A and B are shown apart, each in its own frame.
Chain A
Amino acid sequence: QQQVKQSPQSLIVQKGGISIINCAYENTAFDYFPWYQQFPGKGPALLIAIRPDVSEKKEGRFTISFNKSAKQFSLHIMDSQPGDSATYFCAARVENNNDMRFGAGTRLTVKP
């Protein structure tokens, strides 16, 4: 059973546009929600993360919006750049639990 559902599977955005990737989770015990960015041939790298005590976290052009009641969270990339083209994974984890559950990934392409 997939515990974290991610959409869309792929996304094409023009340079300067806003990229939005959505995730939904089922386990209400999850209390840590990171986003990872993966470039071809590389391992995923932590991009930004949020805990459910806040509804939004912003770091530069990247923002996580979190809706605890809907059990949804999303990544917004403002002023998207071609260098942002990568695969993005959302994840969810129970603190101090071994198992971090990942979404299926979104392949983002930003066209110049």
Chain B
Amino acid sequence: GAGVSQSPSNKVTEKGKDVELRCDPISGHTALYWYRQSLGQGLEFLIYFQGNSAPDKSGLPSDRFSAERTGGSVSTLTIQRTQQEDSAVYLCASSFFGNTEAFFGQGTRLTVV
């Protein structure tokens, strides 16, 4: 597709389970971001990938959160031992390196019950 694609759109999981969220960035975009949007809150930066450089993980809230980007394209955000406070919309964005406009996917709404 032409835009950033995220899957699944919605995920309901039980507390304590692990979840994986997927992001397919726009083809050719070397920069990829993950953000978290909680109800009524702004966008919280989680992690940033740029090409083959070491990712900027400074926004990850705990060691239960991790992310990978394989082959410089698809990215997976993994949350281990989910907690209710992890419930939020997780947004992925991509951009060309050096280009300041980031294009967002539609997000994955995660609900931990």
Contact = CB atoms under 8 A, between A and B. Distances in A.
A95 B101 CA distance: 11
Interface stretch (A14-22, A55-63, A102-110): A102-110
B50 interface: yes
Nearest to A41: B106
Contacts of A103: 42
Q: Interface size class for chain A?
A: 20 to 34
A100 B45 contact: yes
Nearest to A95: B100
A43 interface: yes
A32 B58 CA distance: 21
A52 to B, nearest CB: 13
B42 A99 contact: no
A43 B104 contact: yes
A32 to B, nearest CB: 5
Contacts, number: 58
Interface in B26-55: 33, 35, 40-45, 48, 50
A98 B107 contact: no
Interface in A77-105: 89, 91, 93, 95-96, 98-105
Nearest to A5: B42
Contact of B50 (A32, A98, A105): A98
A20 B106 CA distance: 26
A55 B66 CA distance: 40
Interface string B73-106: 0000000000000000001010000101111111
Contact of A43 (B42, B48, B101, B105): B105
A89 B42 contact: yes
